[in-house]
Amino acid sequence: MTARPIAVVGASAAGLAAAEALRRFGWRGPLTLIGDEHHLPYDRPPLSKQLLHGAWEPEKLLLRTADQLDPLDLDLRLGTRATGLDVATRTLTLDGGVGVPPREQGREWGTLGCAGVIIATGVAARSLPGAEGIAGVHTLRTLDDALTLRGLLAGGGRRLVIVGNGVLGCEAAAVARELGHDVTLVGIEKTPMAAAVGAEVGALLAEEHRARGVQLRTGAVDGFETAPADPAGTGDGQVTAVRLSDGSRLPADLVLLAIGSRPAVEWLADPALDTTDGLRCDAYCAAAPGIYAAGDVARWDHPHHGRPLRFEHRMNATEQGIAAARNLLAELAAEAPAADGEAIPAQERRPFAPVPYFWSDQYDLKIQAYGLTAGADRIETTVLDRAQRRAVALYGRDGSAVGVLAAGLPPRRLRALRAVVATPLAWDEARERLRAALASGQDTP
């Protein structure tokens, strides 16, 4: 009998990392990589920065070229959506796309029985009620989204309203201002990125955006105003303004909705899976026997923090894809000889316990953070140089320091701060370590 494949659902950074790790750790059986976009796996962080700006072309975002993927011997199914998963039999249901044969080993079209499954479907952009079908209202999640928006911003001189002042909204605002557009950044938080970095660092970011000419507004969107999209008065309405709940009106030629995302789990209806705020996994990234998850979609038990966490950060996607692959193979090796395919090298499952890392580039300012910054109940911010927006912040929760952030510091300085929150430390001890790390680099609080 032909061996059943391991399937990786999501041709993303996490999915590609998982596929490569499966081969590296010894899987020699069939390997299927499924992606709902028609593009080869690409990097997403540059979408709101270098690609949107026009500094990079799409080819530069590719994580691997077709030639580089060849040694993996993948059954690569692009333009294919997974629409269901039967957990007990590890059977996927697929919808359309390249490479889906009429029948597989006697099974009906569109199903794929698997030895194991890694889910790396990521997240989808959120929208707002009433935005559907309005010309000029966009989201930014995929390469096609970014290319469409880049084309509209290429001419300069547009009135762009960005709804959402989190990381994505702030990065897009910086790019649009550098391209010469009139930018208004609207958020329900009083300061940009406050939920992720706190009020004081958010205030520094607000100062930088204002200095660059961005108009900052606080409020909730109440609706959109439109005009006919063509002189004949036909076609979808073209956005002309954004209305806020306080009654104010923001004129707009373009609107970018950057109001967050939702985990792409709607296709996972099997009651054996918990899809509350992502796919719930244990410390090994397992959602069920033979079913693992990685990247933005995974909510797993972090061994050091004692609670389930979900990160939408690029480095976590790669690291978790590798961890999920290793642990799945360890489980399949333990199932042998029940597992299909050639023998799998014996190995142990390991809990996934990363030190989370994220960064954001806005204008000439780089923000980098290790650990957990969102949800902190204590934040201590040290401004090193206000004019240069240089600052360090320590984040705590339940008496322990769990995150550290640096704005405007070089990477070599930040690496010294990583050790402060590699594992949760008592607040006072972490504070002293942070002071010592800063002092050693001649940037004292």
CB 415 within 8 A of CB 441: no
Instruction: Give the predicted TM-score (pTM) of the model.
Output: 0.92
Last residue of a domain, one of 199, 231, 259: 259
- Report pLDDT for 208: 97
Flag whether pLDDT at 390 surpasses 70.
Answer: yes
> Is residue 356 one of the residues assigned to a domain?
no
Radius of gyration of the chain (CA): 23
Residues 324 and 402 grouped into a single domain? no
Does some domain include residue 340?
A: no
Rounded CA separation 80/38 (Å) = 8
Instruction: Return the CATH number at 395.
Output: 3.30.390.30
Q: How would residue 2 be classed by pLDDT, with cut points 50, 70 and 90? A: low
Domain shared by 436 and 375, yes or no: yes
Contact 167, 362 (CB under 8 A): no
Domain count, the chain: 3
Q: Check if the beta carbon of residue 335 is closer than 8 Å to that of residue 302.
A: no
- Would 351 be classed as within a structural domain? no
pLDDT tens digit sequence for 78-117: 999 999 999 999 999 998 644 444 434 433 458 999 999 9
Residue 207 buriedness (CB in 10 A; 0-12 / 13-18 / 19+): middle
Average pLDDT estimate for 192-203: 95
pLDDT digits (tens, 9 = 90+) for 285-339: 999 999 999 999 999 999 988 889 999 999 999 999 999 999 999 999 988 755 5
Same domain, 26 and 96: yes
Q: Are residue 76 and residue 149 in the same domain, yes or no? A: no
Do 64 and 32 reside in the same domain of the chain? Answer: yes
- Decide: helix, strand or coil at residue 311: coil
Task: Please indicate, yes or no, whether residues 90 and 236 belong to a single structural domain of this protein.
Answer: no
Q: Is residue 358 part of a domain?
A: no
Q: Of 335, 352, 374, which residue constitutes the final position of a domain?
A: 335
Angstrom distance (rounded) from CA 290 to CA 361: 38
Among 239-248, 345-354, 394-403, 414-423, the range scoring the smallest mean pLDDT is 414-423
Give Cα 240 distance to the centre of its chain: 30
> Is 303 within the bounds of a domain?
yes
| pLDDT at residue number 103 | 39
Confidence (pLDDT) at 79: 93
Instruction: Say whether both 299 and 399 belong to one domain.
Output: no
> What pLDDT shows up at residue 99?
47
| Tens-digit pLDDT profile for residues 336-382 | 755 555 567 778 899 999 999 999 999 999 999 999 999 999 999 99
Is residue 253 domain-shared with residue 297, that is, in the same domain? no
**b vs e for 341-366, b when ≥16 Cβ sit within 10 Å of the residue's Cβ?**
beebeeeebeebebbbbbbbbbbebb
- pLDDT tens for 33-48 read 999 999 999 999 999 9
Q: Evaluate whether residue 445 is within a structural domain.
A: no
Place of tokens 């680099």: 441
- pLDDT exceeds 70 at position 207: yes
User: Among residues 220, 235, 259, which one ends one of the domains?
Assistant: 259
Based on the fold, state whether residues 190 and 205 are members of the same structural domain.
yes
3-class SS at 320? helix
In this prediction, residue 211 carries a pLDDT of 97
| CA 169/CA 221 separation, integer angstroms | 15
* SS3 assignment, position 68: helix
Domain check: are 371 and 401 in the same one? yes
Please state, in angstroms and rounded to a whole number, the distance separating the CA atoms of residues 154 and 2. Answer: 52
Q: State mean pLDDT over 242-260.
A: 97
Measured in residues, the chain has a length of 445
Dist. CA 319–CA 296, nearest whole Å: 12
Q: Is the pLDDT of residue 231 over 70?
A: no
Q: Is residue 13 part of a domain?
A: yes
pLDDT over 90 at 418, yes or no: no
CATH number at residue 111: 3.50.50.60
274 and 232 share one domain: no
Considering the domain architecture, whether residues 144 and 189 belong to the same structural domain is answered as yes
Higher pLDDT: 412 or 193? It is 193
Identify the band that residue 177 occupies on the pLDDT scale cut at 50, 70 and 90: very high
Please tell me the least confidently modeled range out of 32-46, 148-162, 187-201, 426-440: 426-440
Answer for the pair 170, 140: CB distance below 8 angstroms, yes or no.
no
Residue 377: inside a domain, yes or no?
yes
Counting Cβ atoms within 10 Å, is residue 132 exposed (0-12), middle (13-18) or buried (19+)?
Answer: exposed
Q: Which H or E run contains 225?
A: strand 221-228
pLDDT score, position 104: 44
Amino acid of residue 230: D
C-beta pairs of 282-288 under 8 Å, 24+ apart in sequence:
283/351, 283/352, 283/353, 284/323, 284/327, 284/349, 284/350, 284/351, 284/352, 285/320, 285/323, 285/324, 285/327, 285/352, 286/327, 286/328, 286/331, 287/119, 288/87
Domain enclosing residue 117, as ranges: 6-124+262-335
CB atoms within 10 A of CB 218: 14
For residue 229, pLDDT over 70 is answered with no
Cα–chain center distance at 171: 14
The amino acid occupying position 123 is: V
**Measured distance CA(361)–CA(407) in Å, rounded:** 10
